Structure 1
Amino acid sequence: MTKKTVLFSGLMLFSLFFGAGNLIFPPLLGLQSGESFGPAITGFLITGVLLPFMAVMAISLSENGLVSIGNRVHRVFGLVFAIIIYMSIGALYGIPRASNVAYELGFKQIMVVEGWLALLVFSLLFFGVTYFISLNPKKIVDRIGQLLTPLLLLVLGVLVVQAFIKFENIASPAVGDYVTTPFVKGFVEGYFTMDAVAALAFGIVVINALKDKGAKSKLDLVKGTFGAGVIAGVGLVIVYISLGWIGRVIPKETDFANGAEVLTVASGILFARGGGLLFGVIVILACLTTCVGLITACARFFNEILPRFHYRFYVAVFTLVGLLVSNLGLNLILSLATPLLVFIYPIAIVLVILSLLQHFVGGGKMMYRLTVSVASIFALYDVLVNLGFQLQRSTELLEIIPFFEYGLGWVLPAFVAALVGYVVDKGSGQVQKLTIN
């Protein structure tokens, strides 16, 4: 395994993470945080970059990816939770969302089109390219790391450099929660990118790519994944800060509803008629690479647990399902998937953190079970609220917990549960420290 392989694997991982959601969050943060941009973007980088990096490393350190991490709670839980993760961020949400965002924010910036037929034609072309790239996982590093990622970075670089040259470095006052708690608000915005969950799928893509390029031992895989994660993380930090800075200094002559509008207007100001074309190309490339990563990850996972069917069969299935679901429309996709994502996110985060901690301080089943149980209770509450249930009494009780109003009420109780579980495991002699064999 060469340094070149690690480099291109890192570029591939960057591209897998950098979808349209990641493209539009930072500009809106920069716009709203204004003078408080520094602490806001710092909070965003912790949950938008550090947590996904930790998730990728947790996968590389485990024996059987996401399933083995979940098995530390229970064997049935491990398999079921892994399937839910791959289905939710894959066929039922991530893949069709990528296609829809590419259409709504990318293709529509290039071509003036409307209606279901235009979406169908675009999605056929989009998924045709995705299917072709995903067919041979051994070439995914070459196709994404060496071709698509540099192209994406080049187009982004043109936009950012032009913005640094033409926009004045003048920030407006912060608004909303960015006035009083900019770090916490930025932290929550990064949390909602959902990349920590996506990383649980992308981790196995990187590991398999490194294996295909010659990595033999577990140590080689961990080192290679760490190097790729650092490269991807540095790239994300640079791009997030740059895009956030554009939102911070863009002329505030009009109101912006979201980060997509910020970048669309910025592209128009900087490149006149070509601005819409530039932004459209950025969005389509970002969505394409993310979609390829999700289909590859899902196909690999199901091929491992149900090897009766070939990898290419699963690529075809997830491509077809993504194509069909994407034509339901973006709003319907988001409304159907949001409750599921709200439920799995806290559980995924605690599993990642506990998995990493076990390599340093050890851990046992009680630690995992108590922590996941507590996180699940809070996640279930958030799901019910999201579905429209009125839980006034429960809300009044939970509001005393720190950060509850930001959707992070589970953090402190989960920490306490992990501590209690660790003490119980220690007392019963069940604490086991994981090592790299």
Structure 2
Amino acid sequence: MKQLTKKEILFFGFTLFSMLFGAGNLIFPAYLGNAAGDNVWQAVTGFIISDAGLAILGFIAIANAGTSDILANRVHSTFAFLFPLAIYLAIGPGLAIPRAGSLAYEMGIKPFLPHTGAAASVGLLVFTIIFFSLVFWFAKSPSKLVDRVGKILTPILLILIFTVFVKSLFMDAVPLKNAVSPYKENPVIRGFLDGYQTMDGLCAFIYGIIFTNLFTVKKITNRSLQIKYLISFGLISGILLSICYIIIAYLGAKALIPGTVDHGAVVLSIVMTQLLGNGGTVLLAILFSVACLSVCIGLVTSCAQYFTTVFSKISYIQWVLLLCVASGVVANLGLSQILKVSVPILGFLYPIAITLMILGILHSWLPSYSRPVYVITISMVGLFSLLEMINSTIFNGEFNPYLLWIPLQTDGFGWITIGGIGFVLGSIAGKILPNTGHTNTA
């Protein structure tokens, strides 16, 4: 039986960390730490669970099914088309790409511009035109250069953050400020919900295929062994991510920032200035700009390749151009606005993703005819999450008094109650309904 060596397991664990760790993994724990204050440790614990924890859960679910496509098809072929499409839109032109482009501006250019609204708007427009022109230039001819740059920049960013952390330990002790709402009342839950923003849990559905292909190449066919290796990869990357989050959240909590800030990019910039002076700000600006460029090129390339296979009438180059233009337009909303928009969208996608992960892991314990369990549970969770998104975005929470009657909804997890009801109904249906040709897939 083919097996991986300890060295290979360690290597693939670090590879997974490199795939998951991006600019967003820096700014969100920094903001969390600053807002959570003296509740920083509880908040960052919730963040780690929903970020690294859900990513590991996703990999295990996919390994248990065989591929992400098999897992999604257990619900329905239409779902297997729409859900990955929604994920690619989220990690592509809808959120992640424009967020990275806007973040590059916030960290690389904005600190050196006049502090006026007009200068910021014009600066962002000019920057995004140049930035996404470069992204287009590189992405139209994919090469290993971007991957190599990313693998070099990630360690440098980590070394820089660790250096700042060590330096902060020798500074005068500053008491942590009081946590602000909602980190004051429910720090763990708030941190868990903040973990959605990194989108690492969703990326598990995209990156999972890489490891299933790895097992095929290595001729590792034993399902239990695959799951064991994925858990090992996940634990290695999860430990590395956790260390980074703890350090960054701690730095955010210790930062001397008067008032409140909109996002973690401001927190990091202030931390660097306070500890390393203007030189630190310049260094961080350069690294963030190049890192975000590398991330965007990689995401545009991946999304263009996916959309080309789904909508083949449009060529790869045309998809690259469309993605760059669309991402540039969205990036001009500004980082703060993009982050506000991302909350309801990810609040809709994540409950569906988590439910699918759990069903995938529990698959062998489901009724012999399991399709009703998948269909009813996912449908109820999806409809409830959609209702929540509409309520928060269009009706500004007008229906909150009614939704709060649902157990766990006060903490933002009413979908778990709805999903539990769907699971019970689906299990009953699976035992009653005849299996009309459908079998338990993988």
Per the alignment, do residues 81 and 118 of structure 1 end up closer, same or farther by CA in structure 2, a change over 3 Å counting? closer
In 2: Cα distance, 1:141 partner to 1:68 partner: 29
The residue that corresponds to 1:14 in the other structure is 17
Per the alignment, do residues 43 and 433 of structure 1 end up closer, same or farther by CA in structure 2, a change over 3 Å counting? farther
Structure 1 residue 251: Cα displacement: 3.6
Matched-pair contact (CA < 8 Å) for 1:134–1:292: no
Per the alignment, do residues 309 and 207 of structure 1 end up closer, same or farther by CA in structure 2, a change over 3 Å counting? farther
1:396 to 398, 401, 408: 401
1:76 to 41, 53, 78: 78
Per the alignment, do residues 159 and 335 of structure 1 end up closer, same or farther by CA in structure 2, a change over 3 Å counting? closer
Per the alignment, do residues 12 and 340 of structure 1 end up closer, same or farther by CA in structure 2, a change over 3 Å counting? same
Q: Tell me which moved more, 370-379 or 214-223.
A: 214-223
Per the alignment, do residues 130 and 171 of structure 1 end up closer, same or farther by CA in structure 2, a change over 3 Å counting? farther
Aligned 1:99-110 pairs, distance under 5 A: 99-109=101-111
Q: Does residue 204 of structure 2 align to residue 202 of structure 1?
A: no
In 2: Cα distance, 1:132 partner to 1:2 partner: 35
In 2: Cα distance, 1:126 partner to 1:161 partner: 36
The residue that corresponds to 2:246 in the other structure is 241
Structure 1 residue 10: Cα displacement: 3.9
SS of match in other structure, 1:273? helix
Paired letter, 1:44: F
The residue that corresponds to 2:387 in the other structure is 381
Structure 1 residue 190: Cα displacement: 2.1
Paired letter, 1:107: I
Structure 1 residue 148: Cα displacement: 2.8
The residue that corresponds to 1:47 in the other structure is 50
In 1: Cα distance, 2:330 partner to 2:411 partner: 31
1:367 to 370, 373, 387: 373
The residue that corresponds to 1:155 in the other structure is 160
Per the alignment, do residues 173 and 93 of structure 1 end up closer, same or farther by CA in structure 2, a change over 3 Å counting? closer
The residue that corresponds to 1:274 in the other structure is 279
In 2: Cα distance, 1:87 partner to 1:217 partner: 32
Q: Does residue 237 of structure 2 align to residue 256 of structure 1?
A: no
Per the alignment, do residues 318 and 153 of structure 1 end up closer, same or farther by CA in structure 2, a change over 3 Å counting? same
In 1: Cα distance, 2:147 partner to 2:235 partner: 16
Per the alignment, do residues 97 and 80 of structure 1 end up closer, same or farther by CA in structure 2, a change over 3 Å counting? same
Per the alignment, do residues 255 and 330 of structure 1 end up closer, same or farther by CA in structure 2, a change over 3 Å counting? closer
Matched-pair contact (CA < 8 Å) for 2:100–2:295: yes
Paired letter, 2:380: V
Paired letter, 2:70: S
Per the alignment, do residues 62 and 334 of structure 1 end up closer, same or farther by CA in structure 2, a change over 3 Å counting? same
Structure 1 residue 413: Cα displacement: 2.0
Q: Tell me which moved more, 239-248 or 380-389.
A: 380-389
Paired letter, 2:111: Q
Q: Does residue 413 of structure 2 align to residue 408 of structure 1?
A: yes
In 2: Cα distance, 1:184 partner to 1:143 partner: 36
Paired letter, 1:368: Y
In 2: Cα distance, 1:336 partner to 1:292 partner: 23
Structure 1 residue 263: Cα displacement: 1.9
Matched-pair contact (CA < 8 Å) for 1:33–1:182: yes
Q: C-alpha offsets along residues 49-70 of structure 1, whole Å, 9 cap, x if unaligned?
A: 20122223334444442x3322
Paired letter, 2:260: F
Per the alignment, do residues 52 and 78 of structure 1 end up closer, same or farther by CA in structure 2, a change over 3 Å counting? same
Paired letter, 2:418: P
Structure 2 unaligned regions, length at least 5 = none
In 2: Cα distance, 1:129 partner to 1:211 partner: 32
1:25 to 14, 23, 28: 28
In 2: Cα distance, 1:391 partner to 1:250 partner: 33
The residue that corresponds to 2:179 in the other structure is 174
Q: C-alpha offsets along residues 11-65 of structure 1, whole Å, 9 cap, x if unaligned?
A: 4443443334332222232233333333222112111220122223334444442
Q: CA RMSD in A?
A: 3.7
In 2: Cα distance, 1:23 partner to 1:46 partner: 16
Matched-pair contact (CA < 8 Å) for 1:372–1:414: yes
SS of match in other structure, 1:178? coil
The residue that corresponds to 1:85 in the other structure is 87
The residue that corresponds to 1:97 in the other structure is 99
Q: How many residues align structurally?
A: 429
Q: Does residue 359 of structure 2 align to residue 354 of structure 1?
A: yes
In 1: Cα distance, 2:249 partner to 2:349 partner: 28
Q: C-alpha offsets along residues 193-237 of structure 1, whole Å, 9 cap, x if unaligned?
A: 4432233233345656x479x544455876665444333222210
Q: C-alpha offsets along residues 313-337 of structure 1, whole Å, 9 cap, x if unaligned?
A: 6556534543454346546656766
Q: C-alpha offsets along residues 177-199 of structure 1, whole Å, 9 cap, x if unaligned?
A: 33343222222222344432233
Structure 1 unaligned regions, length at least 5 = none
TM-score normalised by length of structure 2: 0.81
SS of match in other structure, 1:179? coil
Per the alignment, do residues 154 and 321 of structure 1 end up closer, same or farther by CA in structure 2, a change over 3 Å counting? same
The residue that corresponds to 1:284 in the other structure is 289
Aligned 1:215-234 pairs, distance under 5 A: 215-218=218-221, 225-234=230-239
